[in-house]
Amino acid sequence: MKREDIADLMAFAIIAEERSFSRAAVRLGLSSSALSHAIRLLEQRLETKLLNRTTRSVAPTAAGQRLLDRLSPALGEIAEGVEALAEERDRPSGVVRINTHRSAALLHVLPKLPILRKIYPDVHLELGVDDAMVDIVADGFDAGIRHGEQLARDMVAVRISPEYHTAVVAAPDYLTGRPEVRSPADLLQHDCLAWRYRTSGALLKWEFMQDHRKVSVDVEPVFTTDDMEVLIEATTTGAGLAYLLKEQVATHLASGQLVEVLPGFSVPHEPCYLYYPSRRQMRPAMRAVVEVLKGGIGRAAANEQPSTDAIAESHS
């Protein structure tokens, strides 16, 4: 193998990860044209087409994917070896990629960014926000954030939030002059706004604790969306009642934009966990992010625990 092959193979892996020549060029500090030229030369030397290019996307060919599958472990070891040098100078650095649903990003990650920047200025956090479950290993993420009941058993999980609670909320203007909501069954007399899972297409169930057992109400929504922020915004405009996590709308409730109905029927939900593959050695940068997100800066990840449940779709 020639020396230039190593650099070009690494460039190929980054292009495949980013699915874009322009984004890969930014990461590599090259121009898109120079990077494209390097890949063409690599394909000529290997006498194999590695990437399918269109005006909108870039993806590995079948041969390219087979090569990438062989390259990824070796390139990962090289990256970990280089970043492990940070341990010697006690200054974590590098990129940590985390996949999370929108609520966890807003509630538990963004508020801690200033702390991360202050304590670990050389750590760059990259968030992939997706309300659907993803395979963090296959998609190139270092870790993910989901609720406890949704974690695969081969992951290490670190709790980063308190327990959640469901809430049915509405704008005060919507409730004016409408039937009072005293029990879950009363919801059938109201306009309900629903959230739909992107992966399965199913509607989120409206579940309640009643007489010490969990019951569900099959509402017929007048509005449905797969974007939680859109759902909250629709609720604040007075479009109807929405079934959310109370923590998602805490500021809206505090300001009076929204009010909660049926508070005595709330259902508790698992807290959020940061999870990552147990077989992977933790990089210094990753360890720094774990410590900040769980609120244990300067301490080892003492409360790590293997999760036991199968991956399912997220409750955003």
Per-residue pLDDT tens for 274-308? 998 875 567 888 989 999 998 865 443 333 433 33
Tell me how crowded residue 136 is: count the other CB atoms within 10 A of its CB.
Answer: 23
Cβ contacts of 91 within 8 Å, gap of 6 or more: 122
Q: Each residue of 156-209: pLDDT tens digit?
A: 889 998 888 999 999 999 999 999 999 999 999 999 999 998 878 899 999 999
| Separation of alpha carbons 230 and 236, rounded Å | 10
> CATH 1.10.10.10 region(s) of the chain?
3-83
Domain 3-83 belongs to what topology? Arc Repressor Mutant, subunit A (1.10.10)
Helix (H, G, I), strand (E, B) or coil at 107: helix
Count the helices and strands in the chain (H runs, E runs): 10, 16
CATH of 91-163+270-306, one of 3.30.70.360, 3.40.190.10, 3.40.50.2000, 3.90.226.10: 3.40.190.10
> CATH 3.40.190.10 region(s) of the chain?
91-163+270-306
H-helix or E-strand spanning residue 158: strand 155-159
Cβ contacts of 287 within 8 Å, gap of 6 or more: 92, 301
| Separation of alpha carbons 289 and 60, rounded Å | 31
Residue 286, token pair as written in the block:
């990753």
Kindly list the distances between the CA atom of residue 258 and the CA atoms of 166, 190, 244, in Å, as whole numbers in the listed order.
14, 16, 12
Q: Each residue of 14-53: pLDDT tens digit?
A: 898 888 888 888 888 888 888 888 899 888 888 899 999 8
Segment 64-82 mean pLDDT:
79
> CATH 3.40.190.290 region(s) of the chain?
164-269
Per CATH, the number for 164-269 is 3.40.190.290
More confident residue, 126 or 295: 126
Measured N-to-C along each axis, helices 32-46 and 3-18 cross at an angle, to the nearest 10 degrees, of 120
Residue from 256, 68, 66 nearest 169 by CA: 256
Residue from 316, 308, 275 nearest 132 by CA: 316
What per-residue confidence (pLDDT) applies to 89? 55
Cβ pair 106, 131 in contact under 8 A:
no
Instruction: Report CA Rg, the chain.
Output: 23
Q: 148 pLDDT band (50/70/90 cuts)?
A: confident
Q: Which DSSP state fits 264?
A: G
Average predicted confidence (pLDDT) for the chain: 84
Kindly list the distances between the CA atom of residue 301 and the CA atoms of 160, 290, 304, in Å, as whole numbers in the listed order.
11, 7, 6
